[in-house]
């Protein structure tokens, strides 16, 4: 079978309006098939794979007519050609028929249904609220989070905050509150586009010396789109000369009328610098959670939740931070997340402690998955491994299918490689900006980047937000969307997610030119970060024929893991870098050894170990770049 004709092949001519009208989608078979009628209809259902022939039967349009239409759009096909879902739907729409593609129910559908099982009853007990902090850049999101985190960690845990896992829990008045590390409102909405609404309340940070700014407005729009309550933190209140009335006025204009003005938006004056207002903010979050959101979950059921971030590391394999949203996740559970699956090997809480279980609204780091999920993908606990494997494999096939298709999109990260592979011949851009002036300044700067190897083509430049049609254009023409002080519309974000379109947003011109220049030079490689694991001191050295030198060690801090990277330190100086080839407890090979235990360590290709040397274990995490 030839690969399906992609929707992008059909974009040239079909009308935008028609596409927007399209309401057809994936559906599940309801146990019956629609009878084929020769007459044209306004709505039809079809089972994949969709061929021109089956489409013709389903919508009552002659095959020749369909082929002619495709031909007019520059697509050569035959009666047996297959169409991808979207292409089939668009072609049907050209003949005024809304098409639903009906899939067989799969193991995955059963799993997805478990996310929705909205049971009632006394098992559902109150759970902590999950908070996301949004706001304009530099208004103090990160500082506020840091402050909250440092000030409200349970006393016995102090000093234990070694872990960054993308989310954490603090306590106020004995009640836990979960914070998701501020991802920016695009990421917030991108998560929603994947169906993952993890946030219960948004804290909108507005700097008292700056007021409501463009990204504040966007953040408001995004929070409102998610239909979550907003609590405003009027931050930097410690600064002199702040005009609170002006900001209250600005907030009111955005339909966030402060309670002090008779509205219903709580505004708390905070300072991340002095700590002023933080207890009041936490107090207010507790109140809003209780009064406006009925947050409940059933800790007794198998866990479901969402991946917040994930990475792969040499020592530990796939590590994903997930937020448990319902149920309780336990070590040993079988989970599916994105197209990965596995048995939960270990759970770490936000303080880096090993835990056995994680209940509702708790963020935990999970190891044991066999593939890296994407932020926003949901996870669920399943009964058995074979079911999990089946779901993961189906998903993988689907992802691979998409990757093999013609439609692999271009991003600034992969531009260089794609050009090297001759798959892309120029950097195609769609520029959207807030005003005509920025648009001109931007295109002038971009023209300067043009060079022989990488022609820069601006396909569209216009004033206004990024719309769904921009995304379709980008998809069809392998372009990257650059938004300068403009926000993409919700539908554009959804479409961009689906089609993997790179939308880059900036508010400073040199950032645009700088990043694009780097992309052209192939510089936007994935970020890596070193994560310290543990230290061990060498107490004795053994020479074993055939193996070499094994260091008898005592783990003084953290854990030592087999396969981890290692540094050998002698008298404070690093003298060798390698990896931990073998790790033993007594005679047994083990995967890791914790603090205060003895172990034998063999460092790869290195035999000159001496007593009192220190072995430092670490891993390199590859961080997926997200925008």
Among 19, 69, 139, 562, binds ligand GDP (CB under 6 A): 139
Cβ nearer to ligand GDP, comparing 57 with 254? 254
Q: Any idea what DSSP says for residue 36?
A: P
Q: Which position has the token pair 């950032």?
A: 511
Binding residues for ligand GDP, total number by CB under 6 A: 15
- For the chain, the maximum distance between any two Cα atoms, rounded to a whole number of angstroms, is 88
Distance in angstroms (rounded) separating the CA atoms of residues 368 and 335 = 9
Q: Contact letters (x/-) for ligand GDP, 400-419, by CB under 6 A?
A: --------------------
Angle formed by the axes of helices 63-72 and 52-59, to 10°?
Answer: 120
3-state secondary structure 55-100: HHHHHCCCHHHHHHHHHHCCCCCCCCCEECHHHHHHHHHHCCCEEE
Closest distance between ligand GDP and the C-beta of residue 511, in Å? 14
> Is 219 buried (19+), middle (13-18) or exposed (0-12) by CB count in 10 A?
buried
| Residue 273 within binding range of ligand GDP, rule CB under 6 A | yes
Question: Is 498 a binder of ligand GDP (CB under 6 A)?
Answer: no
- x/- string (CB under 6 A) for ligand GDP, residues 214-253? ---------------------xx-xx--------------
For position 69 contacting ligand GDP by CB under 6 A, the verdict is: no
> Is the CB of 184 or the CB of 373 nearer to ligand GDP?
184
| In contact, 542 and 600? CB cutoff 8 Å | yes
Which one, of 349, 373, 295, lies nearest residue 168 by Cα?
A: 349
Using an 8 Å Cβ cutoff, are 205 and 134 in contact? yes
Query: Contacting ligand GDP (CB under 6 A), which of 67, 219, 272, 503?
Result: 272
Structure tokens belonging to residue 232: 């405003």
How far apart are CB 513 and ligand GDP at their closest, in Å? 22
The set of residues, in sequence order, having a beta carbon less than 8 Å from that of 454 and lying 6+ positions away, is 419, 426, 427, 520
- Residues of this chain, 312-371, that bind ligand GDP according to CB under 6 A: none
- Among 73, 114, 142, 367, interactor with ligand GDP by CB under 6 A: 142
* Helix (H), strand (E) counts: the chain: 16, 34
Binding part of the chain for ligand GDP, among 137-145, 327-335, 507-515, 574-582 by CB under 6 A, reads 137-145
Give the separation between CA 325 and CA 218, rounded to whole angstroms: 26
Q: Which stretch binds ligand GDP (CB under 6 A): 135-143, 402-410, 558-566, 592-600?
A: 135-143
Q: Between 46 and 207, whose beta carbon lies closer to ligand GDP?
A: 207
140 binds ligand GDP (CB under 6 A): yes
Structure tokens at 258: 């402060």
- The residue from 143, 357, 469, 557 that contacts ligand GDP (CB under 6 A) is 143
Q: Is 138 a residue that touches ligand GDP (CB under 6 A)? A: yes
Taking the C-alpha atoms of residue 86 and residue 255, their distance in angstroms, rounded to an integer, is 38
Q: How far is the CB of 627 from ligand GDP (least distance, A)?
A: 15
| CB 272 to ligand GDP: min, Å | 4
Taking a C-beta distance cutoff of 8 angstroms, is the pair 283, 203 a contact? no
In the complex with ligand GDP, which residue's Cβ is closer, 148 or 533? 148
Nearest-CB residue to ligand GDP? 140
Chain residues binding ligand GDP by CB under 6 A are 135, 137-143, 235-236, 238-239, 271-273
């Amino acid at each position: 079978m030839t690969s399906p004709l992609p929707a992008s092949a059909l974009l040239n001519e079909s009308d935008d309006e028609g596409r927007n009208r399209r309401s057809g989608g994936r559906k599940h078979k309801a146990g019956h098939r629609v009878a084929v009628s020769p007459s044209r209809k306004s709505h039809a259902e079809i089972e994949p794979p969709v061929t021109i022939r089956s489409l013709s039967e389903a919508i009552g349009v002659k095959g020749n007519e369909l082929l002619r239409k495709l031909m007019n759009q520059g697509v050569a096909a035959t009666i047996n050609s297959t169409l991808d879902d979207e292409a089939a739907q668009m072609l049907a729409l050209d003949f005024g028929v809304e098409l639903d593609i009906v899939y067989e129910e799969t193991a995955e559908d059963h799993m997805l249904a478990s996310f929705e099982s909205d049971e009632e009853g006394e098992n559902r007990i109150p759970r902590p609220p999950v908070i996301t902090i949004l706001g304009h850049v530099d208004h103090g999101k990160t500082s506020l989070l840091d402050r909250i985190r440092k000030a409200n960690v349970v006393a016995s845990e102090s000093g234990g905050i070694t872990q960054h896992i993308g989310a954490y829990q603090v306590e106020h008045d004995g009640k836990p509150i979960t914070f998701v590390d501020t991802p920016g409102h695009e990421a917030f909405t991108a998560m929603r586009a994947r169906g993952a609404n993890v946030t219960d309340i948004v804290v909108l940070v507005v700097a008292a010396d700056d007021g409501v700014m463009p990204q504040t407005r966007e953040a408001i729009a995004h929070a409102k789109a998610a239909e979550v309550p907003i609590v405003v933190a009027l931050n930097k209140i410690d600064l002199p000369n702040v005009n609170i009335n002006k900001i209250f006025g600005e907030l009111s204009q955005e339909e966030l009328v402060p309670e002090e003005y008779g509205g219903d938006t709580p505004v708390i004056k905070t300072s991340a610098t002095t700590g002023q207002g933080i207890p009041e903010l936490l107090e207010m979050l507790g109140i809003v959670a209780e009064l406006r959101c009925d947050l409940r979950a059933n800790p007794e059921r198998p866990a479901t939740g969402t991946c917040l971030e994930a990475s792969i590391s040499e020592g530990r394999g796939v590590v994903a931070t997930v937020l448990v949203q319902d149920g309780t996740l336990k070590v040993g559970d079988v989970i599916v997340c994105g197209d990965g699956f596995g048995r939960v090997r270990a759970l770490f809480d936000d303080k880096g402690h090993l835990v056995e279980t994680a209940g509702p609204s708790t963020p935990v780091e999970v190891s044991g998955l066999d593939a890296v999920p994407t932020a926003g993908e949901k996870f669920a606990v399943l009964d058995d491994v074979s079911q999990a494997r089946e779901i993961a494999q189906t998903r993988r096939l689907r992802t691979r299918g998409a990757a093999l298709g013609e439609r692999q999109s271009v991003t600034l990260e992969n531009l260089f490689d794609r050009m090297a592979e001759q798959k892309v011949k120029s950097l195609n851009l769609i520029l959207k900006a807030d005003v005509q002036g920025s648009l001109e300044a931007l295109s002038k700067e971009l023209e300067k980047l043009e060079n022989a190897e990488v022609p820069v083509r601006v396909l569209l430049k216009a004033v206004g937000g990024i719309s769904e049609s921009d995304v379709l254009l980008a998809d069809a023409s392998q372009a990257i969307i650059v938004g300068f002080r403009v926000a993409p519309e919700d539908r554009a974000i959804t479409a961009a997610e689906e089609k993997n379109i790179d939308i880059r947003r900036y508010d400073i011109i040199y950032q645009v030119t700088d990043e694009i220049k780097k992309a052209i030079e192939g510089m936007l490689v994935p970020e890596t970060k070193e994560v310290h694991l543990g230290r061990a001191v060498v107490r004795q050295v053994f020479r074993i024929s055939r193996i070499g030198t094994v260091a008898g060690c005592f783990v003084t801090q953290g854990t030592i893991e087999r396969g981890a990277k290692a540094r050998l330190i002698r008298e404070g100086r690093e003298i060798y870098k390698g990896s931990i080839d073998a790790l033993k407890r007594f005679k047994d090979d083990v995967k890791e050894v914790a603090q205060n235990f003895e172990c034998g360590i063999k460092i790869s290709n290195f035999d000159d170990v001496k007593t009192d040397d220190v072995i430092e274990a670490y891993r390199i995490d590859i961080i997926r770049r997200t925008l």
